[in-house]
Amino acid sequence: MPADQKSYESNVLALWRLPYREEQYCAIAYARQHPRFITPSALWLYERMIREGAWWDFVDEIAVNLVGTVLGNFRAKTRPIIERWCDDPDMWIRRTALLAHLKHKKETEAAQLFDHCLRRSHEPEFFIRKAIGWALREYSKTNPRAVRAFLKKNRQRLSNLSYAEGSKHLARANSR
């Protein structure tokens, strides 16, 4: 168990710097095992890992389970950072801004999620389009009415992929 925030970050970074991908997976797993240190002060570290990892297998895990946890637990402090990340030049950071909303269920800030989806909806990048759809699909499990209305209103702005992914669970929600 790391003694403090600095030790936590140092340990994660030491694992992250090792040469093999499997060791970097260990860095992410280690980071997740210590929830008391998953705080806004660790965002610099998660950002570094996202930029250096630069592929979905690293980014998605960091985005959902580390950055998303920080956003959920420290929303006011983290919101400005996620807002900046939504427009970052790095595609993986932008993807993180979308995926950070995933596990928030009833605590999801729908206006922010929908704004992020629209701000990125013009992008041709598969990983962004998929992230938009994934974020909408997950939120539709909590608030199908809001997601349905968003999809209907913005059908022309969303890619076919984003729309299809976002609406995947809505047929089931209609039958409830």
Measuring CA to CA, how many Å separate 44 from each of 3, 81, 101?
19, 10, 18
1-100 has which fold? Leucine-rich Repeat Variant (1.25.10)
- Which pLDDT does position 175 carry in this prediction? 43
82-95 per-position pLDDT tens digit: 999 999 999 999 99
Nearest to 120 by CA among 79, 162, 78: 162
108-131 per-position pLDDT tens digit: 999 999 999 999 999 999 999 999
Q: Measured between alpha carbons, how far is 143 from 147 in angstroms, rounded to an integer?
A: 7
Neighbours of 56 (CB within 10 A): 16
- The radius of gyration computed from the CA coordinates of the chain, to the nearest angstrom, equals 17
Q: What is the mean pLDDT of residues 157-171?
A: 95
- Which pLDDT does position 45 carry in this prediction? 98
- Which pLDDT does position 173 carry in this prediction? 56
Q: What's the pLDDT band for 172 if we cut at 50, 70, 90?
A: low
Domains of the chain, by residue range, sit at: 1-100, 106-176
Q: Is it the case that residue 176 has pLDDT exceeding 60?
A: no
Q: What's the pLDDT band for 27 if we cut at 50, 70, 90?
A: very high
Q: Tokens representing 48?
A: 């570094």
Q: Measured between alpha carbons, how far is 88 from 160 in angstroms, rounded to an integer?
A: 24
Mean pLDDT (the chain) is 96
Instruction: List b or e across 11-34, with b for residues whose CB sees 16 or more CB atoms inside 10 angstroms.
Output: bbeebbeeeeeeebeebbebbeeb
- Which pLDDT does position 171 carry in this prediction? 74
Q: Tokens representing 55?
A: 């592929």
According to CATH, the superfamily of the domain at 106-176 is ARM repeat domains (1.25.40.290)
Query: What single-letter DSSP state applies at residue 101?
Result: T
